Amino acid sequence: MNDRDIISKHLFKQMTVDMARLLLDLDISDVEIIDNEQQRVEDRRADLVAKVQEHGLSYILHIEIQNDNQAIMPWRMLRYRTDISLAYPGLDVKQYLIYIGKAKLTMASGIEQADLSYRYRTVNTHSMNCESFFQQNTPDALVFAILCDFGHYSSREVVRHILQGLQKLTGHNEAAFRDYLLMLEILSSNRDLKQIVQEEENMLSQIKYSDLPSYGLGMKKGLEDGIEQGIEQGIEQGKQQGEAVMLEKLLQIKFGDIPDSVKQRLQTAHSAELLLWSERVLSADTLHDIFADH
């Protein structure tokens, strides 16, 4: 979580509470974020360290997010543990390693040697389906879905669905929306998805997703099916012309300026044509790919 320096402490508190509740099944409160940077030559900073309370008991919560397998990880965790314990003697320390990598988890969750027995808890997000987070229908759960298993959905589909949901759930509270976007960017960097998030944010700033016929339908059968269902509903309600306008906006966002010939073609298209072209928007690399006869 290398972007820690650009996020405010109140957001770190919120992230700590959400991560504990959504990923670790902890019911913590009274969160105090701890500056845990160690004054040594190498960077020894843990991802997240906080003094928390759970059921009236205080302890130190240490969360580390890892996106690849490192054989030395148990030793790193032990080093973090000793640094934290030296800084806060007398307090118990609970350590969690949250693994979000694509490869199969192979790292140990501790060290067993002569005269040394050390353990910490490992959470493998591959066992957590992103749809279960979507079903909670809260902005916090949506943000943390970025760390979970996407199943058969593409990264861009998931990111787009998260952004649509955040826009809907935060309503007109722009400050809250910006906070959740920042949380999403920070967490997405651990999955190397920050560029996709920023691209989709740029798209979001140019078009109001809630105006699209596909809004709210995307993840059940994939975003393509959502667009298809939305267009079908629009046609049934006599809004075929409006669907053509929405499709034109999507094309402009993805490909830039649209030739007048394409705009005319959209306005005169039949419902079946609009449906077919909408299905091709996400996978097409050029305008020709959308309108070409296959």
Q: Domains in the chain, please, with CATH?
A: 4-127 (3.40.1350), 128-206 (no CATH), 212-294 (no CATH)
In the chain, the amino acid numbered 199 is: E
The answer to whether residue 3 scores a pLDDT higher than 50 is: no
- Distant-in-sequence, close-in-space partners of 266: CB < 8 Å, separation ≥ 6: 244, 245, 247, 248, 274, 277
Q: Would you put residue 38 in left (φ > 0), alpha (ψ -120 to 50) or beta?
A: beta
Residue 108 has pLDDT above 70, yes or no: yes
Output 37 or 189, whichever has higher pLDDT: 189
Does the predicted model carry a pTM greater than 0.85? no
Confidence class of residue 206 from pLDDT cuts 50, 70 and 90? Answer: low
| pLDDT tier for residue 109 given thresholds of 50, 70 and 90 | very high
* Cα separation, 196 vs 178, whole angstroms: 17
d(CA 26, CA 292): 53
User: In whole numbers, what is the pLDDT of the chain averaged over residues?
Assistant: 79
